Amino acid sequence: MAREGTVLLTGASGFVGSAVARRLRSAGFNVRALVRPTSPVAHLSDLSLDFATGALRDAEAVRNAMTGARFLFHVAADYRLWARDPNELTQTNVAGTRLLMQEAMRAGVERVVYTSSVATLTARADGTSADETMPLDEHQAIGVYKRSKVAAERAVEELIAQGLPAVIVNPSTPIGPSDVKPTPTGRIIVEAASGRMPAFVDTGLNMVHVDDVAEGHLAAFERGRIGERYVLGGQNASLAEILATVAEAVGRRPPRIRIPRRALMPFAHVSEAIARRTGREPMLTLDGLRMSKNKMFFSSVKAERELGYRARPYREGITDAIEWFRRAGYLRR
């Protein structure tokens, strides 16, 4: 694909979005970033982005930001496993996505890369890797975040059938630098590196460096097939292995205690009750525990074959994340 013309990018202030913004700029694109008025943008100051202000649900702001854009990368999402008002996730992830894609069609955008998630795929109960051939039914999704991402992906697919020139990418669990918020996974790294995770449950994740996810976005733009979805993952690892890798990186002893999932349910209830009063996101959630029943293991073979996608060892992502969290003041040396 030609790189002349403006890319409209949503989610540039977020973790994956900032990595995508950096990769697009290094590839020579002009990038217009649609950000909310309250979004942090200091970490983007070196990228020479053209900022447009507005929310995904603001039709006028979206239409204005779309004016003159040739391409669209929709990376923005409300990524929380708990929210005091769950409807906020649905409105941003589903209604906001549908509005943005409809405006892209109206404006004649030539190509769209939509950032979905492996949350829209069915994890295998036997612990083997799932792939793009296993879409998750919305009614079987655990928690409002997963349901919203499934519904958003289905909305994009409906619009693709009506002519939207979109490619879908499904990142697994990104880790690495510039996790400003941080994400739920980033919080686990911070807590583990600080010695505040003495135990673990028997689960697993597919971990991938955020810069490899950004590279996968560009590959999907250049080589992805319209209407197809591509898992952008890295390595499968048990939570015990992940925590041991974090511990090794900071010179701590890894946790040795495995706790039954059911034993943590009361603590999740208490954590969410406190969160409802304080408004602060709980460290432990009921949905998170329920999702941990199956190992979230995935395969990126399709992206490797069709896009030339490659991912580095997840250990490098953890190392880069820890170093960035230290520089940003989340961790003491």
pLDDT tens profile 49-81: 999 999 999 999 999 999 999 999 999 998 887
At 21 the pLDDT is 97
At 261 the pLDDT is 87
Beta strands in the chain (DSSP E): 6-10, 30-35, 50-53, 69-74, 111-115, 166-171, 173-175, 199-200, 204-209, 229-232, 235-238, 257-258
Confidence of residue 294 (pLDDT cuts 50, 70, 90): confident
Q: CA-CA distance, 231 to 304, in Å (whole number)?
A: 9
Average pLDDT over every residue of 176-181: 94
Q: CA-CA distance, 333 to 320, in Å (whole number)?
A: 14
Helix (H, G, I), strand (E, B) or coil at 43: helix
Q: CA-CA distance, 93 to 74, in Å (whole number)?
A: 11
At 22 the pLDDT is 97
Average pLDDT over every residue of 34-39: 92
Q: CA-CA distance, 237 to 205, in Å (whole number)?
A: 6
Q: For residue 44, how many C-alpha atoms fall within 13 Å in the half-sphere facing its CB?
A: 30
Q: CA-CA distance, 102 to 106, in Å (whole number)?
A: 6
Cis peptide bond upstream of 182, omega within 30: yes
Average pLDDT over every residue of 266-290: 86
Helix (H, G, I), strand (E, B) or coil at 267: helix
Average pLDDT over every residue of 209-237: 98
Instruction: Give pLDDT tens digits for 250-263.
Output: 999 999 999 998 89
Average pLDDT over every residue of 201-207: 95
* Contact by Cβ (8 Å): 181, 321: no
Share of the chain above pLDDT 90, in %: 77
Q: CA-CA distance, 35 to 12, in Å (whole number)?
A: 7
Nearest to 112 by CA among 26, 2, 215, 9: 9
State the pTM of this model: 0.94
